């Protein structure tokens, strides 16, 4: 499971059986599943418990989750979440990803270059302001503009008033809008990382598998004013950790689910979206593998990106396999018919919501038409242009748009240039993260090649982009010609405003200028003709569900803080009992079973210190908690609010869970808090860290 928000699509039972006894749901902290918890586990989280867990939870904006684990701003997440920072501070000589790191003092803790962490401080319902901005009779374009203006304004006012990062979140697919306010940390430093060989032991073959033996952890520390922050809320470390049968909670940021999607929408995922995404992922995987195999240094440069691609590929393949199962689609169709039937029976519901399914279907038709161009050249927040797969291009188009957008009144700006969003945008725009010319060239050349394939060699835009050259030659020319690798150059262009950008003869800026009009146009088409009408239609469907099934339901995932829950327990697969937990000793057996060969080769220090370890200590364990991509690094918490583990993966059966929730086989996979402590003590002798975690300094 991984930072990249893999597309989870839907779960059949979600919301249709709101009082299910299953351990289902990614619940809002403002609307926890009191009744299910009470009925099934006889537990009712107190307001203090909830606030403590909420404010101990940390979002990694690079795409994962984490939690405070000491009063001195110590934060734990997964190694594969921390890898974004590790990769960016590594060099040929010092590879933090591969060799790991352990700081002996605050002074030794190196700073991440562009990592932003968020802690959720408050939730406010702003549905009436956002939904009210859209007046009856507005067309989609006007509605989209009005809604965007309302959101930009609410966020700016909140930020001005509180100083907190402020985001309006569309929940229930637009059925509700909540204002989330975050404390923001941007001085984040590395405290401890194990070697990748044990953090990602078993590699791609073991990814999304269980039983598992991974020390997928990484510790950071939040600083302010060059000092460790002191936090009121952090999770106490449970030295014994979870036991079989325990009720556990997962507090984290599931990235995206589409459990509310109509059948037409799901069929779009099956027929276009997932196959298309997989083709691009496979293409990039083969490309980066080829690049990586040429030398150790190449492998290091591409490592984090390649891992992300492989991780997404495996996740999406699992999802597509689920959607290609005719039985699943049939069940989903039956559920949709059942809800539609209930709506049709009630003239008032039918009048208000009956047309919503057709409205979604109409947007899908538009989407099918525009999707290739949107994917290739559309550019926006969390949406890169597939035809221009280059960090330098991203920088160029961001620089190009910056003076244009900031010259507009705040309500009219593209979302990522609104007043409230600019801090985070600039953090990335001026990041000192290394950019490797050879890797940039390889990626850009391949993506330009894809542009030729998909848009056609005779397309006017393609011809202009290639400027009479082959994709390889053109990419080499662009990457070697641009000066945007230099952060000072970027800052100078940003400070120089519109004139500086217009006067620039940087080839990458010129390329961005060439792409920008088409890129804006197709994004606008998507936002006005797909996103906005979908939002309106899905808001109707959500309200129909509320009306038919009641309101104690959870919304689809939105990469915001949610509470999941479940039981630590094993399962049966192919007639075989899979245990709830593995042990440290099992790690060595697993390595031996694979001839200790990469990716099953343990770090030397793990071999050397084997004898010191209590091999019976639990290492990884599974629970029935409902998670998905983005939950990586989420703390696993017991009734007492103590940390008993850290989520790092879901098993292969959990990929199907995105369509049909089931706790039969689907499991969330976590590192056990006792196993972590044993490894830190005996393998790494990380006494400083252990002292801080256990409060016995």
Note the residues at the interface with its own copies (CB under 8 A).
203-205, 267, 270-271, 275, 279, 282-283, 285-286, 289-290, 293-296, 313-314, 320-322, 324-327, 329, 449, 452-453, 456-457, 463, 466, 468-473, 594-595, 597, 599
What would you report as the CA-atom Rg of the chain, rounded to the nearest whole angstrom? 25
Q: Based on CB atoms, which residue is closest to its own copies, 131 or 278?
A: 278
Both structure tokens of 180: 């989330």
Residue 481 contacts residue 457 (beta carbons within 8 Å): no
List % helix, strand, coil for the chain (3-state, nearest 5): 50, 15, 35
* Residue with the two structure tokens 């492998």: 299
CB of 282 to its own copies, least distance (A): 5
Q: Based on CB atoms, which residue is closest to its own copies, 551 or 664?
A: 664
**Cβ contacts of residue 335 below 8 Å, gap of 6+?**
12, 16
Q: Which of 69, 68, 72 is nearest to 230 (CA)?
A: 72
In Å, the largest CA–CA distance within the chain is 74
Region at 667 (left for phi over 0; alpha for psi -120 to 50; beta for the rest): beta
CB of 653 to its own copies, least distance (A): 13
* Residue with the two structure tokens 């390329």: 511
CB of 662 to its own copies, least distance (A): 15
Tell me the sheet residues that pair with 119: 183
Q: Based on CB atoms, which residue is closest to its own copies, 428 or 594?
A: 594
Residue 522 contacts residue 373 (beta carbons within 8 Å): yes
Q: Based on CB atoms, which residue is closest to its own copies, 5 or 314?
A: 314
CB of 290 to its own copies, least distance (A): 7
Q: Based on CB atoms, which residue is closest to its own copies, 272 or 549?
A: 272
Q: Based on CB atoms, which residue is closest to its own copies, 224 or 453?
A: 453
First CA to last CA across the chain, in angstroms?
A: 33
> How far out from the chain centre does Cα 668 lie?
16
Q: Based on CB atoms, which residue is closest to its own copies, 58 or 652?
A: 652
CB of 275 to its own copies, least distance (A): 4
CB of 471 to its own copies, least distance (A): 6
Q: Based on CB atoms, which residue is closest to its own copies, 293 or 412?
A: 293
Q: Based on CB atoms, which residue is closest to its own copies, 124 or 285?
A: 285
Cα 362–368–374 angle (5° rounding)?
115
Residue 528 contacts residue 141 (beta carbons within 8 Å): yes
Between the alpha carbon of residue 200 and those of residues 83, 208, 296, 349, the distances in Å are 11, 11, 18, 51
Q: Based on CB atoms, which residue is closest to its own copies, 466 or 686?
A: 466
CB of 305 to its own copies, least distance (A): 16
Q: Return d(Cα 248, Cα 388) in angstroms, integer.
A: 44
Q: Return d(Cα 363, Cα 207) in angstroms, integer.
A: 35
Beta strand ranges found along 283-356 (DSSP E)? none
* Residue with the two structure tokens 């998670």: 627
* Residue with the two structure tokens 């989280």: 45
Q: Based on CB atoms, which residue is closest to its own copies, 11 or 170?
A: 11
Q: Which of 355, 241, 261 is nearest to 618 (CA)?
A: 241
Q: Based on CB atoms, which residue is closest to its own copies, 464 or 697?
A: 464
Contacts 24+ apart (CB under 8 A), 330-338: 331/12, 331/660, 332/10, 332/12, 332/263, 332/266, 332/659, 333/263, 335/12, 335/16, 336/262, 336/263, 338/16
CB of 575 to its own copies, least distance (A): 15
* Residue with the two structure tokens 């793990």: 606
In which element (H, E) is residue 204 found? helix 203-206
Residue 355 contacts residue 538 (beta carbons within 8 Å): no
CB of 288 to its own copies, least distance (A): 12
CB of 413 to its own copies, least distance (A): 37
CB of 612 to its own copies, least distance (A): 30
CB of 468 to its own copies, least distance (A): 5
Q: Based on CB atoms, which residue is closest to its own copies, 329 or 605?
A: 329
CB of 325 to its own copies, least distance (A): 4
Q: Return d(Cα 179, Cα 182) in angstroms, integer.
A: 10
Residues 551-561 as b/e (b if ≥16 CB within 10 A, e otherwise) read: ebbbbbbbbbb
Q: Based on CB atoms, which residue is closest to its own copies, 227 or 282?
A: 282
Both structure tokens of 619: 């290492």
CB of 601 to its own copies, least distance (A): 12
Dihedral angle computed from the Cα positions of residues 273, 278, 284 and 286, in that order, rounded to the nearest 10 degrees: -160
């Amino acid at each position: 499971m991984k930072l990249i928000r893999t597309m989870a699509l839907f779960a059949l039972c979600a919301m249709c059986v709101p009082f299910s006894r299953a351990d289902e749901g990614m619940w809002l902290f403002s609307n926890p599943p009191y009744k299910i918890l009470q009925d099934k586990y006889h537990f009712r989280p107190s307001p203090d418990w909830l606030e403590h867990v909420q404010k101990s939870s940390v979002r990694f904006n690079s795409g994962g989750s984490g939690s405070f684990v000491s009063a001195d701003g110590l934060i734990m997440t997964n190694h594969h979440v921390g890898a974004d920072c590790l990769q960016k501070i590594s060099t040929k000589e010092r590879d933090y990803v591969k060799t790991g790191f352990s700081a002996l003092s605050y002074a030794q803790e190196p700073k991440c270059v562009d990592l932003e962490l968020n802690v959720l401080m408050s939730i406010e319902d702003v549905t009436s302001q956002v939904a009210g901005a859209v007046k009856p009779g507005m067309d989609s374009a006007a509605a989209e503009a009005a809604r965007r203006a309302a959101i930009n304004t609410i966020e700016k006012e909140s930020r001005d008033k509180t100083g907190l990062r402020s985001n309006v979140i569309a929940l229930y697919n637009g059925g509700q809008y909540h204002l989330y306010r975050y404390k923001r940390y941007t001085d984040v430093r590395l405290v401890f990382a194990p070697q990748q060989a044990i953090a990602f032991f078993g590699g791609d073959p073991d990814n999304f598998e269980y039983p598992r033996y991974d020390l997928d952890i990484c510790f950071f520390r939040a600083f302010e004013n060059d000092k460790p922050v002191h936090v009121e809320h952090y999770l106490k470390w449970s030295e014994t950790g979870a036991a079989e049968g325990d009720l556990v909670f997962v507090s984290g940021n599931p990235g995206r689910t589409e459990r509310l999607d109509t059948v037409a929408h799901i069929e779009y995922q099956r027929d276009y979206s997932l196959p298309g995404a997989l083709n691009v992922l496979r293409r990039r995987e083969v490309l980066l593998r080829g690049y990586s195999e040429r030398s150790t240094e190449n492998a290091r440069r591409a490592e984090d990106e390649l891992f992300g691609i492989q991780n997404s590929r495996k996740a999406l393949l699992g999802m597509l396999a689920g959607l290609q199962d005719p039985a699943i689609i049939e069940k989903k169709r039956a559920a949709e018919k059942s809800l539609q039937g209930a709506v049709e029976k009630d003239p008032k519901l039918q009048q208000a919501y009956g047309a919503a399914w057709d409205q979604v279907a109409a947007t899908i038709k538009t989407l099918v038409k525009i999707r290739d161009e949107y994917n290739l050249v559309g550019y926006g927040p969390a949406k890169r242009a597939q035809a221009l797969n280059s960090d330098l291009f991203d920088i160029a188009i961001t620089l190009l748009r910056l003076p244009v957008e900031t010259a507009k009144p705040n309500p009219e700006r593209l979302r990522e240039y609104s007043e409230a969003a600019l801090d985070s945008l600039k953090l990335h725009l001026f990041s000192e993260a290394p950019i490797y010319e050879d890797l940039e060239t390889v990626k850009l050349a391949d993506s330009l090649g894809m542009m030729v394939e998909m848009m056609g060699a005779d397309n006017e835009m393609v011809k202009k982009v290639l400027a009479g050259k082959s994709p390889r030659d053109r990419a080499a020319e662009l990457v070697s010609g641009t000066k945007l690798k230099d952060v000072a150059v970027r800052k100078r262009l940003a400070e120089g405003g519109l004139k500086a950008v217009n006067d620039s003869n940087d080839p990458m800026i010129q390329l961005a200028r060439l792409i920008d009009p088409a890129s804006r146009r197709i994004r606008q088409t998507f936002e006005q003709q797909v996103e906005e009408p979908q939002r309106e239609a899905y808001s109707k469907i959500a309200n129909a569900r509320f009306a038919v099934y009641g309101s104690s339901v959870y919304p689809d995932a939105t990469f915001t803080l949610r509470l999941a829950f479940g039981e630590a327990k094993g399962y049966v697969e192919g007639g075989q009992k899979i245990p709830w937990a593995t042990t440290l000793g099992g790690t060595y057996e697993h390595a031996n079973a694979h001839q200790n060969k990469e990716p099953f080769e343990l770090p030397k220090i793990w071999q050397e210190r084997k004898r010191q370890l209590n091999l019976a200590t639990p290492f990884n364990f599974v629970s029935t908690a409902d998670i998905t991509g983005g939950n990586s690094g989420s703390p696993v918490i017991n009734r007492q609010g103590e940390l008993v583990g850290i989520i790092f993966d879901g098993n292969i059966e959990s990929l199907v869970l995105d369509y049909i929730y089931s706790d039969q086989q689907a499991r969330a996979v976590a590192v056990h808090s006792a196993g972590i402590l044993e490894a830190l003590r005996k393998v790494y002798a990380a006494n400083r860290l252990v002292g801080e975690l256990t409060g016995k300094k």
